[in-house]
A and B are shown apart, each in its own frame.
Chain A
Amino acid sequence: MHPAYSVIFFTVSSGAGYGLLVVLGVLGLTDSLPSGFWFGVVAFGLSLGAITFGLLSSTYHLGRPERSWRAFSQWRSSWLSREGVAAVATYVPATLLGAGAIDLIDLGGTATFLRVTAAALALTTIYCTAMIYKSLETIHQWHNRWTVPNYLILGLAAGAAWMNFLLLAFQSSNHAFSIFTMLMLALSLMCKMRYWTFIDTTAHQSNAESATGLGHLGKVRLFEGPHTEENYLMREMGFQVARAHALKLRNYARVCGLVLPIFFVLAAEYTGGTMGAALALLAALMMSVGMIIERWLFFAEAKHVVTLYYGKERA
């Protein structure tokens, strides 16, 4: 599948933003967040900013973005519609929590409810995003049991990495949270590697014979394509990345995005102070870059069954 950068930036940025919102909500419940105006500005600014940047970025993918308001209407059947509804719904508790954190309003007794709701809606939004891809039966590399867990785990790991930096930057280092961050990164690594093994060893159940129904006559091979020129289907669905490139990129995603950040978070934990905050920032940045590579591969390594009509034997 053609990797559209607008969609890649959307899922990575919003994923991290929603992940950060989840940990903000949960840590707020356990009263482990630094108090103070600036933490509120930076933490909620980062979270809501990443979410908003991602959502705006995704509109560049559309042919007619001025009509995107219509996308909220079909939540009964469409995961894309449900994602839109969940994304907008998440803004309500998130913005209120942010306003409370910078003392614009007094949340009082509603703080707990808002934290739980914000975290739950953030997770719901990531879940809906993942389901858009998982529900497509035409793409074996998306239609499997790894897609939803991977989106959720990676989003939470990114959010945790950024929160870890924020805690260190605001001299509020949290040993337990540091461990949690490392565990999330390790879990992401494990899940991603299992996913890559899965897509390397399995393929879609359909083949060129079932696609054409001519299998009873023998082996089916494309003799002549439908047109001499390229078409939308081939550009969008026929995108291929060379195996050698894909393997190299997997290494970058794995090492830069997951392995090294674990070490930097560990180092930050033991260093503390400004140096520790800098190491934690490095971990968060590397993780985000790694996620962009991972998401690019999620698209680039995906194969669509329509390619069975364009010369492929399996997808």
Chain B
Amino acid sequence: MTMLPAGTTKKLGLVIDLDTCVGCHACAVNCKEWNTGGHMAPLTDLSAYEAGQEGIWFNRIHTFEVTPEDGGCGQTVNFPKSCLHCEDAACVTVCPTGASFKRAEDGIVLVDESKCIGCKLCSWACPYGAREFDSDVGVMKKCTLCIDRIYNENLEKIDRVPACVSTCPVNARHFGDLSDPGSDVSKLVAERGGYDLMPEMGYKPTNKYLPPRPRRNTAETSNGPSELPPLPGEDQPFLKWVNRILSR
């Protein structure tokens, strides 16, 4: 059904910490592995053992270089991006067959692969590049927020998080209910000033990004003194004498 639900009971999503992400791509690899073995069709790789390899990935990590306008020290920011499970998801409403839908109970946006005709309109509607067309099976695929993990009673409770969240070695990915102001993720967003990507587009993404903390890696920004202490005066006779001896 491609009408958006009027509201969702929960808003499950991810919080990505751009401050701690080291760009190791473990989240992308784990996502790929989990979705190759899970109940959905495998995440296709084309020409896997020949030239021109490429594949469907739900999660891709870009790296950006940010340079201040005054020409000061720049920084590189590793930028993992997957489906943001938007509240106002245009990818849902443009779908002609009802294959693209948003769940009312938790807000997860999914593709019903048995109904998808592969018209690609949803990928045109998504500003974030969350949806990819699998030319091998002719349908669209996207991040499922590991819906087959988060409710999976066969897993230990601690493992009932998306694959990308469980594998991050630097705790840069967090999962939870962003509609609950008391949840860990909501508190993190409030504390660190988590933001939406391209908020001006009005899609109201659920996933939030935590900005990099200010760096202290230049002479200007480090905690050292900004100028040398003054030479010893009359109040420090011993040091004044030492200074005189050493200055000869």
Residues of A within 8 A of B (CB): 1, 61-65, 67-68, 70-74, 76-81, 84, 132, 135-139, 205-206, 208, 210-214, 216-227, 229-233, 236-237, 304-306, 309-310
Contacts and interface: CB of A to CB of B under 8 A. Distances in A.
B115 interface: yes
Interface stretch (B132-140, B164-172, B173-181, B221-229): B132-140
Interface stretch (B120-128, B184-192, B235-243): B120-128
Contacts of A71: 96-97, 117, 119
B197 interface: yes
Contacts of A225: 62
Nearest to A221: B65
18 contacts: A63-B118, A63-B140, A64-B118, A68-B117, A132-B94, A136-B125, A137-B127, A213-B197, A213-B211, A214-B211, A217-B75, A217-B77, A221-B64, A221-B67, A224-B62, A227-B57, A232-B133, A233-B132
A165 B202 CA distance: 48
B62 A216 contact: no
Say whether chain A's binding surface is mostly helix, strand, loop, or mixed: mixed
Given A226-B60, A227-B60, A237 B129 contact: yes
Interface string B198-229: 11111000000101100000000000000000
Given A64-B138, A73-B98, A213-B209, 13 more contacts: A63-B135, A74-B97, A74-B98, A77-B4, A80-B94, A80-B119, A81-B97, A136-B124, A217-B66, A221-B67, A231-B60, A233-B132, A236-B120
Contact of B98 (A70, A138, A227): A70
B198 A211 contact: yes
B2 A309 contact: no
B81 interface: yes
